[in-house]
Amino acid sequence: MRGIFTRFFKDKKAMTIGFCLGALGFIEMYVALFPSIQKQANELNKMMESFPKEFMKVFGMDSAQLMFAKLENYMSTEYFSFFWPILVTIMAISFANAICVGEIEKKTIEITLAQPISRAKILLSRYLGGALAITLFTVVSSYGILGFAFLHKIDYSLANYATVAFVGTLCGLAIFSIATFFSVLFSERGRSTMATVGILLLMYALNIISGLKDSLQNLKYVSFFHYFNAPEVFGNNRIVDWSIIVFAGTILLFLLAAVLRFQKRDISV
Amino acid sequence: MSKAVIQIKDLKKYFGKVKAVDGISFDIEKGEIFGFLGPNGAGKTTTIRCIMNFLYPTLGSISILGKDAVKDSVFLKSKIGYLPGNVSLNNNWTGKSHIEYIESIRGKSENARELAKKFDLDLSKKFKNLSSGNKQKLGLVLALMSDPEIVIMDEPTVGLDPLLQNLIYEVLEDLRKKGATILISSHNLSEVERLCDRVGIIKAGKMVTVEPVAKLEGKKLHRVEVRFSDKYQKEEFKVKGVDTIEEITGGFIFTVGGDLNPLLQKITKHKITDIEITHANLEEIFLKFYEGGPK
């Protein structure tokens, strides 16, 4: 198992480093801009307050959080609400595809399947390799903010970083588990990718729709974007109710489904 | 007690309505080289993938070393060296990385480096930078590096130059001497003729015949080439046993399954200038099966 885990992680090392550096580059840009944006906070806040309340509600924002008074509030809106979820989703789907469907397309899976190791162990070894890479990315792309804040002499709230790294890792792994399931379900990378992206877009849409009408508000509970609500998690250092259970449950459920499916499916390249 | 190392009983593999393998049965005995012959799409690779547990049989059973190929697949793979058709490995890994990867699962190999040396294979090159022949050599090293009791090769020489083909034949013959049991699928008849003890011919998912190569070559089909100096009609030679008649200048080439006498009686009614009777080669036997001739 260790050999497959190590090899998978090694193969994903360059991409992980690239994503970490990309995230750090964006963080530096955002953090460097923060002091000047902070100076204009009052004007920006006035502008935000002129937006319809429904608009602010739909996007889960409130004016108090958009005051840019704190680095964490600013980064939760600018970075963790949009850029970071895209990065972690691309990473999760890419690594998940490499576990099975990518190897089927490249016709390289037979060399591993011909070895004396169970399919469950093959999948779990690769999953753990990918999970480690995603965890490292989340930690670097969260705590990286702290480093640049220190460099630019900006105040920070240390506790918020542990919270966002923890919830962010769970969220990334939940997406990774869903993508892993589709990677073993399908034999074409395009279909596997579209299935995961489709589910995430649906979750995003449901989270927005839930804010439009009181009668629809319960829809938010099926969306990861409700549980990884960056202004709450990073800005307010608060773990949204049920989020750990929902993310952990998704990880276990989809990973189990992936293992069962991988053990039973025909693999023909 | 049966010496069979691989036993396949009534194996069926369906993909929806497509019957890729439709009820084949055969045994492979210890120490023999068994040739699995058939054109593309006949079901050779599907059968091999079922043996390797990449595909699950729809019906039937596969037993290897007395164990079930599905339930005991992990144990059995420790005994099997597998070379896929058109070896596809990880483009960015070197030969050395591939060997280390297999070693991380199977344990340290005693002979991987020796094999690479024997094949004159540079293990420091990335797979994508290897020629097709060297890719096949690497596949062969990976298949044989753990000294397997059973070797399964899917079209091992396809696309290779004659020198490399010969190298592979030598390796297979060495393995036979060591007592390994070998299954090779092929549509290269001359290699099957050269290497195999027995051959199974598969046609549209069904096993047409399983015979010792010598028996197939010697007993079932004759090739009769004859030239006449007098007048003759093609129709008069359409007698019992004649499978095909090919017209040549001044005569015919017949392929005859079974008794030669009815044809010879017709031939001797004419003035013969030349006649040659030989055992048909495997290719002609193969074509006979595929053209739906008598069996």
CATH for B191: 3.40.50.300
Q: Which residue ranges make up each domain of chain A?
A: 2-264
Residue B287 lies in a domain: no
Are A85 and A170 within 8 A, CB to CB?
A: no
Are A80 and A164 within 8 A, CB to CB?
A: yes
For residue A63, what pLDDT is reported?
57
Instruction: Identify whether residues B249 and B112 lie together within a single domain.
Output: no
Instruction: Identify whether residues B237 and B252 lie together within a single domain.
Output: yes
Residue B286 lies in a domain: no
B/e letters for A60-88, b = 16+ CB within 10 Å, e = fewer, are bbebebbbbebbbbbbbbbbbbebbbebb
Instruction: Identify whether residues B39 and B176 lie together within a single domain.
Output: yes
A110 lies within 8 A of chain B by CB: yes
Instruction: Identify whether residues B257 and B174 lie together within a single domain.
Output: no
What are the chain B neighbours of A114 within 8 Å (beta carbons)? Answer: 52, 77, 80, 82, 84
Are B21 and B12 within 8 A, CB to CB?
A: yes
What are the chain B neighbours of A117 within 8 Å (beta carbons)? Answer: 74, 77, 105
A117 lies within 8 A of chain B by CB: yes
Q: A102-144, pLDDT tens digit by residue?
A: 999 999 999 999 999 999 999 999 999 999 999 999 999 999 9
Instruction: Identify whether residues B256 and B202 lie together within a single domain.
Output: no
Question: Which residue among A4, A116, A269 places its CB closest to the CB of B106?
Answer: A116
Bridge-based pairing state of the strands B198-203 and B206-212: antiparallel
Question: Which residue among A107, A266, A268 places its CB closest to the CB of B88?
Answer: A107
3-state secondary structure of B188: coil
Q: Which residues of chain A have pLDDT under 50?
A: 64-65
Instruction: Identify whether residues B198 and B248 lie together within a single domain.
Output: no
* CATH classification of the domain holding B229: 3.30.70.260
CA dist., res. A143 & res. A141, Å (int): 6
Q: Is the ipTM of this complex over 0.90?
A: no
3-state secondary structure of B120: coil
A153 lies within 8 A of chain B by CB: no
What are the chain A neighbours of B80 within 8 Å (beta carbons)? Answer: 114
Q: Which residues of chain B have pLDDT under 50?
A: 1, 293-295
What are the chain A neighbours of B46 within 8 Å (beta carbons)? Answer: 268
Are B31 and B196 within 8 A, CB to CB?
A: no
Searching chain B, which residue's CA lies closest to the CA of residue A98?
Answer: B90
User: Does B104 contact A118 at a Cβ distance shorter than 8 Å?
Assistant: no
A14 lies within 8 A of chain B by CB: no
Alpha-carbon dihedral sign for residues B125, B126, B129, B132:
positive
How many structural domains comprise chain B? 2
Q: Which helix (H) or strand (E) holds B251?
A: strand B251-257
For residue A250, what pLDDT is reported?
97
Residue B289 lies in a domain: no
What are the chain A neighbours of B102 within 8 Å (beta carbons)? Answer: 111, 115
Nearest CA to B171 among B148, B193, B190?
Answer: B148
Q: B78-134, pLDDT tens digit by residue?
A: 999 999 988 999 999 999 999 999 999 999 998 999 999 989 999 999 999 999 899
A·B CB contacts under 8 A: 69
User: Does B55 contact A7 at a Cβ distance shorter than 8 Å?
Assistant: no
Query: How many CB atoms lie under 10 A from the CB of residue B23?
Result: 15
Residue B291 lies in a domain: no
CA dist., res. B220 & res. B216, Å (int): 6
CA dist., res. B242 & res. B259, Å (int): 9
User: Does A267 contact B55 at a Cβ distance shorter than 8 Å?
Assistant: yes
Instruction: Identify whether residues B195 and B131 lie together within a single domain.
Output: yes
Instruction: Identify whether residues B150 and B66 lie together within a single domain.
Output: yes
Residue B146 lies in a domain: yes
Are B50 and B11 within 8 A, CB to CB?
A: yes
Question: What separation in angstroms does the CA of A205 have from each of A43, A82, A170, A209, B81?
Answer: 30, 14, 21, 6, 51
Q: Which residues of B touch A (CB under 8 A)?
A: 46, 49, 52-56, 74-78, 80, 82, 84, 86, 88-92, 97-98, 100-106, 142
Question: Which residue among A6, A107, A116 places its CB closest to the CB of B75?
Answer: A116
Residue B177 lies in a domain: yes
Of B163, B193, B216, which residue is a domain's last?
Answer: B216
What are the chain B neighbours of A11 within 8 Å (beta carbons)? Answer: 90, 92
Alpha-carbon dihedral sign for residues B135, B140, B141, B143:
positive
Instruction: Identify whether residues B186 and B234 lie together within a single domain.
Output: no
Instruction: Identify whether residues B42 and B179 lie together within a single domain.
Output: yes
What are the chain B neighbours of A110 within 8 Å (beta carbons)? Answer: 52, 54, 82, 84, 88
Bridge-based pairing state of the strands B272-279 and B221-228: antiparallel
User: Given the structure tokens 């449950």, which residue do they identify?
Assistant: A249
Question: Which residue among A2, A115, A264 places its CB closest to the CB of B106?
Answer: A115
CA dist., res. B105 & res. A229, Å (int): 42
A120 lies within 8 A of chain B by CB: no
Instruction: Find the distance separating the first CA and the last CA of chain B, reported in whole Å.
Output: 30
Question: Which residue among A108, A117, A267 places its CB closest to the CB of B105?
Answer: A117
Instruction: Find the distance separating the first CA and the last CA of chain A, reported in whole Å.
Output: 23
Residue B288 lies in a domain: no
Nearest CA to B97 among A129, A7, A12?
Answer: A7
3-state secondary structure of B211: strand
Packing angle between helix A2-11 and helix B95-106, nearest 10 degrees?
150
For residue B218, what pLDDT is reported?
58
Of B216, B231, B261, which residue is a domain's last?
Answer: B216
User: Does A111 contact B98 at a Cβ distance shorter than 8 Å?
Assistant: yes
Question: Which residue among B52, B86, B104 places its CB closest to the CB of A114?
Answer: B52
Q: Residue B96 is part of which domain span? A: 4-216
User: Does A3 contact B75 at a Cβ distance shorter than 8 Å?
Assistant: no
Residue B184 lies in a domain: yes
